[in-house]
Chain A
Amino acid sequence: MFNVDELLLLTIFIPLIGGVGIALLGRYPNIRECITLITAIILWTQVVNVYDYFQGGIIPKAGPYEVLPGLELAFNVEPLGMLFAFIASTLWIINSIYSIGYMRGNNEPRQTNFYICFAVSLFGVMGIAFSANLFTLFLFYEVLTLATYPLVTHKADENAKKGGRIYLMILLGTSMLLLLPAIIWTGALAGTLDFVPGGILQDKAPYAVLVLLSLLFMFGIGKAALMPFHFWLPAAMVAPTPVSALLHAVAVVKAGVFSVVKIVVYIFGIDLLAETGSADWLLYAAGFTVIVASLVALRQDNLKKRLAYSTVSQLSYVILAAAILTPISAVGAAMHIAAHAISKITLFFAAGSIYTAAHKTEISQLDGIGWKMPITMAAFTIGALSMIGVPPTAGFLGKWFMLQGAVSTQQWVAVGVIVLSTLLNTAYFLPIIYRAFLVPPKETGDHGEAPLPILIAISLTALGTILLFIFPDAALDLAKQMVGL
């Protein structure tokens, strides 16, 4: 029916088409939610389809469509993008099931808008994942920012407005003031914006300009939440939990680190950065963020805020892995994108489950909740173990490859950061589990587990966290293809 290239284009546009369908039939809640689920499932099958072609040696491409001379929209499939698209589309299905339980369970207003914006966000994610040049990446990056703004401000109260303001100002601000000039500058220097293995800036710019460009790129990608541009992520926690779960633990933040890795690998090139040392600072900036964000997470009593700071810290793991600048650590970066995605969404699902069933948001309220909500808290425990990096959970894999890369190039700072932060992860996750299961409850609030859709979703992702450890091959192959191992 479609040739390979049309298939790719269709895959990107499926969520948008679904969004239009939701908008048209928004007045019938059941049909609307069906469309969301069906769209998510179709998207997933299409992504798998693209993956099959890709592994069969055919690389689907779409474009280039010229916007103006020197500026093109173009899509293609490369391993990291494939991995990102696969993670996002898989988790969208689970998250949609969860959303139905959560949004209905909490009687949220304006649910149609919610599902439309969610679909448009996924459109942005697919565009980012399959972008073949910096302009296309940037365009969908901004689509994602703008489509998630109404989701962050969904509650439409004073808090939501404030959170939304920080969200928009930091994300748009960094991308417009730092990232865009970096992109245009790259275009002026290299004469192209395409992602090319090995990079496009070889011999194109002097050392100082390379350093400046790397600073502009890395801080310009605000979604990667490198300190000091991480404030938007805790601010985004005013959103309904499904948004925090899929978008602010997976789609948006992964789009950030994905862009970082893409730019390091395909714009600068690992070799160029390793030879010139123009991005050495990144290792320290990422290491700093990992440690400081973990320390801040320790002090948060609000569960979603603690998870948010944990995300800030985990994102910088990925940046750190990329900054080690060895192929094996880049594999670690890719694996950590996958592992963190599935683990952190589990943790957020648990937070939303607790909110829906018990209306609790603070960690200090969670005494003994593990016995009332065993499925939720079991899943939470698996997610937390994965974040700490304990086998048999997915989090172990990424850390393993990162450590391997850091040790093999004797970058002891990176090793130190990984070890220290593992301790800190333990310090901010274990007390929650301890409270939930071992501290007797203070009050005798009467509540059971969350609604069924939520439990289905949370079990699936918890299971996924373990399965990814046992069967890492598909993800690992893609990660290795990226760096040509």
Chain B
Amino acid sequence: MSASVSSLSPAILNLIEHLPALQVAIPMLGAAFVAMMRNGLLAWFVSLIISLLMPIIALFLLHETFVNGIVSYALGGWAPPVGIEYRVDVANAFVLVIVSVMAAITLPYARKVVALEIAEENRSWFYSMYLLCLCGLLGIAITGDAFNAFVFLEVSSLSTYAMIAMGRDRRALVAAYQYLIMGTIGATLYVVGVGLLYVMTGTLNFADMAVRLKEIEETRPILAALSFITVGLSLKIALFPLHKWLPNAYAYSPTMATVFLASTATKVAIYLLIRFVYTIYGPSLELVETSAVTVFVILSLAAMFIASFAACFQKNIERMLAFSSVAQIGYITLGISFAVKTGLTGGLVHLVNHAFMKGALFMCTGAMMMRLGNVKLQAVEGIGRTMPITMGLFVAAGLSLIGVPGTVGFVSKWYLALAAFETGQSWLAFAIMASSFIAVVYIGRIVEIAYFREPKGAALLAKDPPPSMILPMIILVVACFYFGIQADLTAKTAELAADAFLSSAQGTWGAVQ
């Protein structure tokens, strides 16, 4: 505990000690509580309170890791490695902050769109599913136990399927079913991998596993476990070519679910993958020398280009943004596969940067959806005139997606390209630039349609959404620019997180106490 905290009363100290557990327990209990409500507004309010609480805990944990390094918490008092350990370093805390902050910004926005899209009797169910999903995502990020991570993975996935299925029309059911199949395959592969690891090492605790893996080194089951886990998680990440579920899931689920999932869900799976590759396998494998790195680079590049091109040909803005997400995931995995500090920082900082811009873009799109009924390209003709604020914010967030200097997108690109030059792979820097330029095409296309055509039909009567929706949009867009000019908070934390991962790959994540 840091000095500033020690002066507090014992009761609060006690509470602070259990913060890691509360981070997960509050949304979980909240979900059960909300499920019993019959009033949608009340359910929203409880979810809002919980969502606002989460970033406070997460930021506190982040602060703790700045001061103390690793925070270890034995769940239920059962000492690790037998009991479940919540093990938080800068890297997890960073992800916890991203997820919880995005949740807190999404909830104020959610009330109007949920009230519009989801029937009164289902609203509390929806919020209950949302809280479960939040609990699952935070759980994956916080836990230090491979099987516990699987449980939270399933908690988040199952609740996500339910949320998607509550979408506006019947296509949502198909989308949810697609995701259900893919997600289940992914989870199965993951648990097979974990099973193999358990058989070989006799432990499920990450830190313990890292130590024991070093003793048995590169045996075949261990490598098989890595491939199972990588492929399983890649399905959840929507790494190209395992992304097929994502565009439909984003396009047809309720707006609130799209906004929340697009800015958080895949990020957490990426975190878990980095945790496995760097922290658990890092000490025993020479990462850079494995051919897996080459595969990852190729898949990342394929995502960056093919998905970006696909985005240019979508007739629906939500699907376009979804394909853009697949491309952006490519940047993140590319950054990870550099396996140097600059690259990893670029990948990690893009987790938060992408959350800001995609959150903002999907919120704007949600507002259009609310006014126009759909977001096909014909529907948004001329809305630059009738919904000026929404469209202005869309363009601003779009500039960030393109990576114009002064926006967060540029910060990510800077790190990634710098890593390419530093590792002597100059051509990758040009590839990064080229793929980001494709964003000019698909964002520019929307700009031309929204500003250079006359509004007709619903677009004539459309107007900007109410302040409760505008405000979260503005906050995210301002974040896109603020953290593009003054990236201390995001980039430096990402650098520390990258340091944490890289040093854990040297086997310093600490043996079990």
Chain A residues with a Cβ under 8 A of chain B? 65-71, 73, 135, 138-139, 142-143, 146, 153, 156-157, 160-161, 165, 168-169, 172-173, 176-177, 180-181, 184-185, 187-189
Contact = CB atoms under 8 A, between A and B. Distances in A.
B448 interface: yes
A146 B404 contact: yes
Contacts of B404: 142, 146
Given A135-B405, A180-B433, A188-B418, A153 B487 contact: no
B417 interface: yes
A386 B371 CA distance: 57
A156 B454 CA distance: 10
13 contacts: A65-B485, A67-B411, A67-B486, A70-B418, A142-B405, A156-B452, A165-B448, A172-B437, A176-B402, A177-B430, A177-B434, A184-B429, A189-B421
B374 to A, nearest CB: 24
A170 to B, nearest CB: 11
Contacts of A168: 440, 444
Interface in B392-434: 399, 402-406, 411, 413-414, 417-418, 421-422, 426, 429-430, 433-434
Contacts, number: 79
B495 A188 contact: no
Contact of A161 (B430, B433, B452): B452
Interface of B: 399, 402-406, 411, 413-414, 417-418, 421-422, 426, 429-430, 433-434, 436-437, 440, 444, 448, 451-452, 484-488, 491-492, 495
A71 B414 contact: yes
B429 A185 contact: yes
A161 B444 contact: no
B417 A181 contact: yes
A176 B399 contact: no
B488 A68 contact: yes
Contacts of A160: 452
B159 to A, nearest CB: 36
- The residue among A66, A71, A138 with the most chain B CB atoms within 10 A of its own CB is A71
A156 B452 CA distance: 5
Contacts of B406: 139, 142-143
For chain A, what secondary structure do more than half of its interface residues adopt (helix, strand, loop), or is it mixed?
Answer: helix
B346 to A, nearest CB: 11
B444 A68 contact: no
Contacts of B421: 184-185, 188-189
Contact of A172 (B426, B440, B451, B485): B440
A70 B433 CA distance: 20
A169 B440 contact: yes
B301 to A, nearest CB: 16
Contacts of B429: 181, 184-185
A188 to B, nearest CB: 4
Contact of A184 (B418, B434, B487): B418
Given A73-B485, A168-B440, A156 B430 contact: no
A135 B418 CA distance: 14
A168 B495 CA distance: 34
B437 A177 contact: yes
A168 B451 CA distance: 15
A161 B418 contact: no
Contacts of B430: 177, 181
Contacts of B436: 176
For chain B, what secondary structure do more than half of its interface residues adopt (helix, strand, loop), or is it mixed?
Answer: helix
A188 B429 CA distance: 12
A66 B484 CA distance: 11
A181 B411 contact: no
Contacts of B451: 153, 156
Given A143-B406, A172-B440, A68 B491 contact: yes
Nearest to A209: B426
B418 A177 contact: no
A67 B487 contact: yes
Nearest to B439: A176
A69 B492 contact: yes
Contacts of B437: 172-173, 176-177
Given A153-B451, A181-B426, 20 more contacts: A67-B411, A67-B487, A69-B491, A70-B418, A138-B405, A142-B404, A157-B452, A161-B448, A161-B452, A169-B440, A172-B437, A173-B440, A176-B402, A176-B440, A177-B437, A181-B429, A185-B426, A187-B418, A188-B421, A189-B421
- The residue among B402, B421, B422, B495 with the most chain A CB atoms within 10 A of its own CB is B421
Contacts of A139: 405-406
A349 to B, nearest CB: 28
A189 B424 CA distance: 11
A419 B364 CA distance: 57
Nearest to B484: A67
B279 to A, nearest CB: 24
Closest 3 CB pairs of A and B: A188-B421, A139-B405, A68-B491
Contacts of A146: 399, 404
A293 B414 CA distance: 36
Contacts of A71: 414
Given A139-B406, A143-B406, A146-B399, A176 B492 contact: no
B413 to A, nearest CB: 8
B414 A68 contact: yes
Nearest to A188: B421
A177 B404 CA distance: 12
Contacts of A177: 430, 433-434, 437
Contacts of A156: 451-452
B167 to A, nearest CB: 35
A139 to B, nearest CB: 4
Nearest to A189: B421
B359 to A, nearest CB: 21
A314 to B, nearest CB: 28
Contacts of A143: 406
A69 B399 contact: no
Contacts of B417: 180-181, 184
A135 B444 CA distance: 24
Given A68-B488, A184-B417, A184-B418, A153 B433 contact: no
A123 to B, nearest CB: 12
- The residue among A68, A138, A142, A146 with the most chain B CB atoms within 10 A of its own CB is A68
A67 B485 contact: yes
